[in-house]
Each structure stands twice: as C-alpha cells, then as structure tokens.
Amino acid sequence: MSGQDISSNTNSRVLKTYQEARLQNTENLRKLVVDAAATLLQEEGPEAVTVRKVAQKMDCSTKIIYSLFVNKEGLAQQLYLEGCKLLANEFEGTPQTADPIQHFLNLGEAFWQFGQRYSSYYKLMFGGAFANF
C-alpha cells in the first residue's frame, strides 16, 4: 500500500465515524426535543405544544426543531408514538386471565387508567388535540 492509499483509507474511516457520530447526535437531539415537548404536553396540555415553546424550553432556535421534524405535525407525530408506547406498557401490565371477558375488562381498565394518568397524551391520541390526529 502506498502512503496515499493509507491516507485515503484513514480518511474514509474517519468520515464514516463522523457520519455515524453525527447521526447518533441527531437522534439524541430528537429525543431531547421530544422529551421537552412531552414535558410541555403533560404540564400545560396539548395547546401549549408549539415549536416556539419547545424551542424556548430547549433554549435553542426554532430552526433546529424544524430541521429535525419539518413542522409541528412531525413533532406531534413523535408525541403520538410516545403515547402509543405508554399505552402499550399499560396493556402489557394487565393481569392475564383464562376468562376472555375478564381479560377484556382488564384491558378496558388499563385504557381508562392510561387516560387518567396521561390525560394530555390521551387528548393528543384520541381527542383531536392536534389537527390531523
């Protein structure tokens, strides 16, 4: 291998590592933004979740949030998915019974508990709190 081959091989390895790190940082930033939006959702309700308020909570520009989610609906979609995960956890925690009717009642109770515990997520997911949801 010539010195140039080693150099180009090293550069491509660094570039790949940089791209992986950048992707990982983007995913971490997306999670932090969704967490900030979820906090606003739980503390102040769905109407408080605006790109501007999330940016204020994150102490960043709205441009960063738009670059990650395109628009408010993209952010709302991520919150919707977070709500689905929370609801799935509620359902997974229901006791298993041999009686299908009792199991159905347990699932209904878990759904009701989800609505009580995460009322803002419930409004987002089932109450039309955001347009198109």
* pTM summary value: 0.76
19, pLDDT greater than 80: no
Between 3 and 34, name the one with better pLDDT: 34
In this prediction, residue 47 carries a pLDDT of 87
Could you tell me the domains of the chain? 3-126 (1.10.357.10)
Section 35-61 average pLDDT: 93
Q: What tokens were used for 55?
A: 């940016």
- Grade residue 12 by pLDDT with cuts at 50, 70 and 90: low
Section 17-46 average pLDDT: 88
Compute how many other C-beta atoms are within 10 angstroms of the C-beta atom of residue 80.
16
6, pLDDT greater than 90: no
Contact 97, 62 (CB under 8 A): no
In this prediction, residue 7 carries a pLDDT of 47
Each residue of 68-102: pLDDT tens digit?
999 999 999 999 999 999 999 999 999 989 999 99
Q: How many residues does this entry show for the chain?
A: 133
Task: Report in angstroms the alpha-carbon separations of 79 from 38, 73, 97.
Answer: 7, 10, 32
Contact 94, 106 (CB under 8 A): yes
Compute how many other C-beta atoms are within 10 angstroms of the C-beta atom of residue 50.
15
Q: Closest by alpha carbon to 78, among 69, 70, 87?
A: 69
In this prediction, residue 14 carries a pLDDT of 56
